[in-house]
A and B are shown apart, each in its own frame.
Chain A
Amino acid sequence: MSTLLRIENLHKSFGALRVTDDVTLDVAEGELHAVIGPNGAGKTTLIHQISGLVAPDSGRILLDGADIALLPPHKRATMGVARTFQITSILPGFSALENVALAVQAREGSSFRFFGDPTREERLNAQALENLAIVNLAGRADIPAGELSHGEKRQLELAIALATRPRILLLDEPLAGTGREESERVVATLQALKGRYAILLIEHDMDAVFALADRVSVLVYGAVVASGAPDAVRADPEVRRAYLGEEV
C-alpha cells in the first residue's frame, strides 16, 4: 500500500512545553493507524497540526508527496483532509441534515450563489442523507444539531467529515463520552469505514484500538516511543511500563 499521509520530524512547543517532539509517522491508503498515549501527550495538538489549526515549529506534513504544512485549514480540507474534534464541533443551530449538506456544498465549490433555497436542493440533500445513513442518523435528519444527544453529535460530526469525501480521516477520540451501546455502534461504523479511507485514529479505549487498528503508535510527552503492529506494541515492555502500565 502506498503512503498517503507522511509526517516528518515534526516539532511543536508551547513555551517551554514540548508537545510534539520530532514526530515521524505515516498513514497508508486504506490503513487505520491508531495513536494512543496518556492525557497531555500531544495527540490532539498533532491532529491540529495536520489539519492546520496549529502551526508546527518545524517539520513536514506530506499529503500524497505534497507539503501541506503551510496551507490554511480550509485548503487542506478541500485537498481531502477531514477531521473530527475531541470536543464536538458542529453547527448547533442548523438541522443535522443541513450540517452535512453544508459539507457537500463545500465540496461542490459553488457557494457564491446568492439566490435559491439550498435546503430544497435535492442533490445536496440526497448526498447529505446518504452520509447520515452511514452513521445511523437518517431518522434524525431534521432535528437541530444542538438538540441531538452527545453520542449523536459525535456521529453527526463523522457524517460531516465523510460528506467532504476525504482522502484521510483524522478522528480525535470518537468514543470519548459515549455510552456503551453508542460506542459499540461507533466501533461498528468505523469497522465498516476501515479500508475505504486512510484513518488516523486517536483513542483511549484500548479494546477498540486493538480491535480496529492496522498499526499503533504510542505517543508519550510528544514523542513516539513505539510503533508497529498492535500485538507487537502491546508486548513492548517499554510501552507497558510507560503507558499501558497505568491501565493494568
Chain B
Amino acid sequence: MRGSVAVRALPYLLFVFFAITPALAQFGAEGYILSLVMRVMIFAIAAMSLDLILGYGAMVSFGHAAFLGIGAYGVGILMSHAVTNVLAQLVAAVAASALFALVTGALCLRTKGVYFIMITLAFGQMAFFFFVSLGVYGGDDGLTLRATPTLFGTPVFENTRVLYYVIFAAMLGVYLLLRAIVASRFGRVLRGARENPVRMQAIGFDPYRFQLAAYVIAGAICGVGGFLLAHQTEFVSPAFMTWQRSGELIVMVVLGGMGSLHGAILGAAAFIILEEVLARITEDWKLIFGPFLVLVALFARGGLVGFLRRLGGRR
C-alpha cells in the first residue's frame, strides 16, 4: 500500500527533484550539474510531446527530432539576423514546427503502423538534409549563437539559474498542458482511436482529424524544446535532428513507460543521466547501457513506470 502511494506521488517527486536541484548543485560542480539537468528537462519536453502521439495516439513517429531541430533553427536563424527578442524567436520556433507537422502529418497519417514509422522517418531525414545544405546558416557545422538573447531590450538567460527555472517552468507547463489535453474531450477521442479506430468511426468520429491535430500539437511543443535547446547550448546544428536522435526520443518514452507523460520525463532523465554516469565510469559504457535497455524491454513491461507500479502496486 505504501508503495502504491509512492508510485502515485512519482510525478510530484520528479518535479520536486527538478525544483531543488539548483539548491543542491551549489555544493557540487554547479555549472556541470545544472547544464546536465537542463538537458534532461529539455529532452523531457521533447519526449512528453512524443508521448502524446505515441503513447496516447499510437502514432510512432521516427522523425520527431526534426521538430527539435526546426525549433532550434527558429532561434538560430533569427539570431543570425540580429533578432534577439526571445518572444519573437519562440513564436517563430512554434509556428515553424507546427507548420511542418501539419504538412507532413497530413501526408503521413494516410499510412498505418510500420509504414507510418517509416514515412515520418523520411520527412525527418528530409528536414535533416535540408539544414545540412543550408550553407548560409552553417550547413553541416551548424551555427554558434553569438548575440545575447533579449526580452524587450533587456538581456535574458545570462544567468544559468534563470535559464534553469525558465526551462523548469516550461517543462512543468508542458506537463500540465498535456495532462489536460489527454483528459479532455479531445484526448478522450484520441485515446479511443488508439484502442479501436473502427468503433470510433462507427459512432461518427473521423480519427484522422484528431490524430492530425495531436500531431501538430506534439510538433509545436517539441519546437518549444528546440527553442530551449538552442538557448541552453548556444548552438544549433543538424545533429539535433538525426534519425538516431529521433530513435533516442522513442527509447526515452518506451524506457520510462509510454502513455503516462511522467514516464517520458523519467525516461529522459534515466537515459541522459545514466549515459553520463556510465560514460564517466568507463569509456565502453555502451557495453553496459545496451544490455540495460535489453533487460528493461525483456523484464519491465510498461517501462520504468510500469516496473515501479508493479513493485508498489502488488496489493
Name B200-218 residues within 8 Å CB distance of A.
200-206, 210, 213
A-B contact count (CB 8 A): 92
Whether A105 and B213, one on each chain, are in contact in the complex, defined by CB atoms closer than 8 angstroms, is no
CB neighbours of B204 from chain A (8 A): 74, 77-78, 103, 106-107, 164
Residues A113 and B203 in contact in the complex (CB < 8 Å), given A89-B196, A91-B196: no
Does A134 touch B at the CB level, under 8 Å?
no
Minimum CB–CB distance for B213 against chain A, Å: 7
Question: Residue-by-residue, is A84-119 near B (CB-CB < 8 Å gives 1, otherwise 0)?
Answer: 010001111110001000110111001111111111
A24 to B308, CA, bound (A): 59
What is the minimal beta-carbon distance from A128 to any residue of chain B, in angstroms?
Answer: 12
Contact B202 A73 (CB under 8 A): yes
Q: Which of B180, B189, B201 contacts A102 (CB 8 A)?
A: B189
Asked if residues A74 and B205 are in contact (CB atoms below 8 Å), the reply is yes
Chain B interfacial residues counted at CB < 8 A: 24
Nearest Cβ on chain B to A96's Cβ, whole angstroms: 14
**Cβ-defined contact, A77 with B192, below 8 A:** no
Give the residues in chain A near B186, CB-CB below 8 Å: 111-114
Which residues of the other chain, A, contact B180 by a CB distance below 8 angstroms? Answer: 114-115
Contact A114 B181 (CB under 8 A): yes
The number of residues on chain A lying at the interface, defined by a beta carbon within 8 Å of a beta carbon of chain B, is 37
Is B133 part of the contact surface with A, judged by Cβ < 8 Å? no
Judging by beta carbons under 8 Å apart, are A111 and B189 in contact? yes
CB-CB < 8 A to A77: which residues of B?
A: 201-204
Question: Which B residues are in CB contact (< 8 Å) with A118?
Answer: 183-185, 188
CB distance from A71 to the nearest CB of B (A): 11
Report whether B195 and A114 are in contact in the complex, using a CB–CB cutoff of 8 Å. Answer: no
Q: Does chain B have a CB within 8 A of A72?
A: yes
Q: Is B183's CB under 8 angstroms from A82's CB?
A: no
CB <8 Å contact, A73 and B201: yes
B198 within 8 A of A: yes
Contacts A77-B202, A93-B195, A110-B185 supplied; 10 other A-B pairs, CB < 8 Å: A72-B201, A73-B198, A74-B201, A91-B196, A102-B188, A103-B204, A113-B184, A113-B185, A114-B187, A118-B184
